[in-house]
Structure 1
Amino acid sequence: MNILVLLESINPENIIQYGGLGLLLLIIFAETGVFFGFFLPGDSLLFVAGLLSDTEYLDMHVGLMIVLLIIAAVSGSTVGYLTGRWAGAYLANKKDSIFFKKKYLDLTQAFYLKHGMMAFILGRFLPVVRTFVTILAGMVKIDFPKFVVFNFLGASIWIVTMVLAGHFLGRLFPGITEYLEFIVIGMVLISAIPVIMTYLKNRKLLAKE
């Protein structure tokens, strides 16, 4: 499949307009805990969901949508934790493939070592990290009740922030939906910056050892 066709198919606007709430919840579930979901557009998808809430595409009150999204994110992250707990050794030794990159796990581990349990809150706003941090939690056998608390806090803060930002911006500037493509591209670029910086910093540290 041509890479441009793939990117177009996972465009947040297309996902919501053609897949509706069901596909939105499924993608948030997958991106927050299933290791092959790291490429999915979580941040921009939530933002666009907020923009399109209470419209013909997402005919649902934004508050109820947020509750459902939090449930999807917490459930996905719990699956990620259990995956790491039961298949940690396999993932640690797994060879790279199109759906799994060992460097993403290393990047997440460096982020967790720096921020501790706050990684489950801060990491929600970072692509790749938010997928692998819950898997890493299971691999290192973090106390499950503690994980549940930080997992819920991280999911709630992330979803409420992103969805309400889109929702209120859409109400303040009704015509902004005409520029969704530019907004999505900007969000992807901005969210990628801290991930790239963390990765490069981690590479420098490994090179010095």
Structure 2
Amino acid sequence: MELALNVLDAQSMITAFGLAGILVIIFVETGLLFGFFLPGDSLLFLAGVGASGAAAEVFDRPGFHLSLPMLLIGAPICAIAGAQMGHLLGAKVGTRLFARPDSRLFKQEYVQKAEAYLSRYGAGKAIVLARFIPVVRTFLNPVAGVLGIRAGVFLLWNTIGGLVWTVGILLLGYRLGDTLKGSIDSYLLPAVFLIIGVSMLPVLIEVVRTRRASRAVPAAGLTEATAGPGGLGTVPDGLAADRSGTRA
């Protein structure tokens, strides 16, 4: 059977690479900046379906099945390790890395959004919430490293967020696959769109809030989090304690 690989299509990637590919993609999407465009949420959801009784039906491959125990062990480990790698890269070379100009893939606005989340919510809440927001979950990790959030503090919240994100979405897909076995084709596409839509909701809310703030506050009074990338290398309000580990 000839496979046509589409790196933006989670089902295509799972069919092509299987369990090992899923784990590598989760690591890359959360740990390396060039992986921000990979479909993390839909990949986890479909991987859960691939471990259910509807696997062969959904992937149109007789005998195709993923190991749920291996997914539940491997996906959190790769998600946590990837984010920790991103934090390390930010701490070591982040300032130079983020000084690059905009390109087709890299945009300074990605860094600004990640910095804004850290500034608004504090390290703990931002690290956990970012797991469910595409692009932000990739860029927040190195930004946290640039801003000096301690590796131990980051690891604590990274572990919580990584477990909730991976295990929650995997089990959602697994449950749906087993429940709708035999008729899942009618529900799969809407479910994937729902997962993607929910993950994009915080981004849309942030866009609306930013536009309202820009209309209500004179340009000279805008904070660094909404005005531009100049905040990198400084510690936003509310994060100083996170650097020392006294507040999470």
TM-score, structure 2 normalization: 0.75
Matched, 1:156 2:163: yes
Residue 53 of structure 1: aligned partner: 51
CA distance in 2, matches of 1:92, 1:59: 38
Pairing of 1:33-112 with structure 2 (within 5 A): 33-54=31-52, 55=55, 56-60=63-67, 62-112=68-118
Residue 194 of structure 1: aligned partner: 202
Q: What is the one-letter code of the residue matched to 2:103?
A: S
CA distance in 1, matches of 2:133, 2:119: 16
CA RMSD across the alignment:
2.0
The structure-2 alpha-carbon separation of the partners of 1:24 and 1:189, relative to structure 1 and needing over 3 Å to count, comes to same
CA distance in 1, matches of 2:121, 2:139: 15
Note if contact 2:45-2:170 (Cα within 8 Å) is conserved in structure 1: yes
**SS at the partner of 1:78?**
helix
Unaligned runs of 5+ in 2: 56-62, 223-248
**SS at the partner of 1:32?**
helix
Matched, 1:133 2:140: yes
Deviations 1:51-88 (A, max 9, x none): 1115443431x132111011111111111001111112
Q: What is the one-letter code of the residue matched to 1:28?
A: I
CA distance in 2, matches of 1:115, 1:190: 19
The percent identity for this pair of structures is 34
Note if contact 2:8-2:37 (Cα within 8 Å) is conserved in structure 1: no
Q: What is the one-letter code of the residue matched to 2:33?
A: F
Note if contact 1:39-1:128 (Cα within 8 Å) is conserved in structure 2: yes
Note if contact 1:111-1:198 (Cα within 8 Å) is conserved in structure 2: no
The structure-2 alpha-carbon separation of the partners of 1:129 and 1:14, relative to structure 1 and needing over 3 Å to count, comes to same
**SS at the partner of 2:131?**
helix
CA distance in 1, matches of 2:66, 2:201: 33
Matched, 1:20 2:26: no
Deviation at 1:186, TM superposition (A): 3.3
Unaligned runs of 5+ in 1: none
Larger radius of gyration: 2
CA distance in 1, matches of 2:162, 2:33: 17
Residue 193 of structure 2: aligned partner: 185
The structure-2 alpha-carbon separation of the partners of 1:53 and 1:101, relative to structure 1 and needing over 3 Å to count, comes to same
Note if contact 1:38-1:127 (Cα within 8 Å) is conserved in structure 2: yes
Deviation at 1:30, TM superposition (A): 0.9
Deviation at 1:189, TM superposition (A): 2.9
Q: What is the one-letter code of the residue matched to 1:84?
A: G
The structure-2 alpha-carbon separation of the partners of 1:121 and 1:90, relative to structure 1 and needing over 3 Å to count, comes to same
The structure-2 alpha-carbon separation of the partners of 1:200 and 1:95, relative to structure 1 and needing over 3 Å to count, comes to farther
Deviation at 1:198, TM superposition (A): 1.1
CA distance in 2, matches of 1:140, 1:192: 25
Matched, 1:118 2:125: yes
Deviation at 1:174, TM superposition (A): 0.8
CA distance in 2, matches of 1:69, 1:189: 22
Aligned residue-pair number: 203
The structure-2 alpha-carbon separation of the partners of 1:203 and 1:18, relative to structure 1 and needing over 3 Å to count, comes to same
Q: What is the one-letter code of the residue matched to 2:28?
A: A
